[in-house]
Amino acid sequence: MWFDRKRQELCNGIAHSIHSILAGSGNPLLEIRLPVQHTELQHALDQLQKKWHELSGHAERRPLPATSDVAEATEDLRNRLEKAKEKYSTISARLGEAKQKIEHYTLELDRFKTEESVWELVKQTLTEGCWELRIIDGDHNHPENELRWSSQFRALIGYSTDEFSDGWNTYTNIVNPDDFKKLMATIDEYIYKADWSSAYVVEYRMQHKIKGETWFRERGRGFADSSGRLQRLIGAVRDVSDEKLAQTMHEREIAVIQEKHDQIVHVIDTIKSIVDQTNLLAVNAAIEAARAGDVGRGFSVIASEVKMLAGRTREATQKIQHMLT
C-alpha cells in the first residue's frame, strides 16, 4: 500500500508539473527528484527542464514592439500593398495589351500563311520560271552574290533540283554562248541606267534537257534600298519557241509573197512595155491609114480599136501596180 501511494504521488507531481509548464507558471520541475531506480525518467525530466529554461529565456529576452512602431509598420505595409496593387493593375493592363497584340499577330500570321499558300499555288500554275540574284554591297559582279532558281524555272528547262543547282555554273552551261554575251550586256546596261521602276527584256537560247536548244524570253527588274543601292535582281523566263516558230513561218510566208510580188511587178513592167509598143504601132497605123485615103479607112478603124485596147491595158496595169505598193 505504501508503494502504491508513493507511485500515485509521483505521478500526480509529474502531471502537476506538466500542467504548470503548459500554463507558463514557475519552475516546478526543480521540486521533483525521483528514486535511483527511475534514472531514465529523471533524465527525461531534466532535459524537459533545460528546454523549458531555454524557451523561457528567449521569451524574456524578446522585446515587444512599441505601439508607434506597430502603427508605422502597419502603414508601411499598407503603402506597399497599395503600390503592389498599382503595379498589379499596370501589369494586368500590359498583359491585356500583350494578349491583344498576340491575337493580332496570330491573325496576321495566319493570313500570311494563307497568302503564301495561295502564292505557291499561283506559281505552280504559271508558265514562267523565276530566278533571284541577291546582290552584296550593290555590286552585281560580286563573287559572293547568291543566284537561286525556282522549281518552275527548272521544270521549264526539263531539269530537277539535283540536276540543276543554284548558282552561275549550271546556268552558263546551258545558255548559248553568243546569247549569254548579249544577255549580260543587256543587264549591265540596265544596271548602269539605275532606273529601277523599269524592266529589261531580252531573248536568248538555252539547252533544254529533252528538246535541245530552245528560245526563251526574260523580263527582269532590280530592287534597291532606301539609298538607291541595288540589292536584288529578279527575273521571269518563259518559253517562246512556239512564238519563234510562228515568227519564222511568218517570215517565210512574207518572203514568198515578196517573191511573188516581184514577179508580178516584172510581168506588169513587161505588159506596160508591150502596151507602149502597141500604142505606138496603133499611132503609126493610123498615120498610114490616113495617107491611104479611102482604101485605108478600114485599117484606120482597126488601129483606133487597138489604141483603145492599149489604153485600157495601161489603166489595168496601173491599178495592179497601185494595189501592190
d(CA 244, CA 252): 12
Note the pLDDT of residue 6: 62
Query: 206 falls in which pLDDT band (50, 70, 90)?
Result: very high
Q: Is the pTM of this model over 0.85?
A: no
Q: What is the DSSP letter of 175?
A: B
- DSSP per-residue codes, 121-167: HHHHH-SEEEEEEE-BTTBTT-TT-EEEE-HHHHHHHT--TTTS-SS
Nearest Cα to Cα of residue 17 among 32, 36, 39, 2: 32
Nearest Cα to Cα of residue 279 among 310, 246, 254, 302: 310
- Maximum mean pLDDT: which of 57-71, 187-201, 243-257: 187-201
In terms of phi and psi (left: phi > 0; alpha: psi -120 to 50; beta: otherwise), the region of 167 is left
List the domain boundaries for the chain: 3-60, 75-125, 131-244, 247-324
Number of H helices, E strands in the chain: 8, 5
pLDDT beyond 60 at 1: no
Query: 42 falls in which pLDDT band (50, 70, 90)?
Result: low
CA torsion, points 287, 289, 292, 296, in degrees to nearest 10?
Answer: 180
Note the pLDDT of residue 293: 67
Structure confidence by residue, pLDDT tens digits, 264-308: 777 777 777 777 777 777 677 677 667 766 655 666 666 677 667
CA atoms within 13 A on the CB side of 324: 19
Determine the 3-state secondary structure of 223 from DSSP.
Answer: strand
Hey, CA dihedral for 180, 185, 186, 188, is it positive or negative? positive
Q: What is the DSSP letter of 199?
A: -
Pair 129, 155: CB distance under 8 Å:
yes
Note the pLDDT of residue 100: 86
Nearest Cα to Cα of residue 218 among 121, 133, 290, 296: 133
The single-letter code of the amino acid at 145 is N
Pair 244, 286: CB distance under 8 Å:
no
CA atoms within 13 A on the CB side of 50: 6
Q: Calculate the CA 294 to chain-centre distance.
A: 102
DSSP lists the bridge partners of residue 219 as 201, 236
pLDDT beyond 60 at 55: yes
Architecture of the 131-244 domain: 2-Layer Sandwich (3.30)
Query: 21 falls in which pLDDT band (50, 70, 90)?
Result: low
Hey, CA dihedral for 176, 181, 182, 187, is it positive or negative? positive
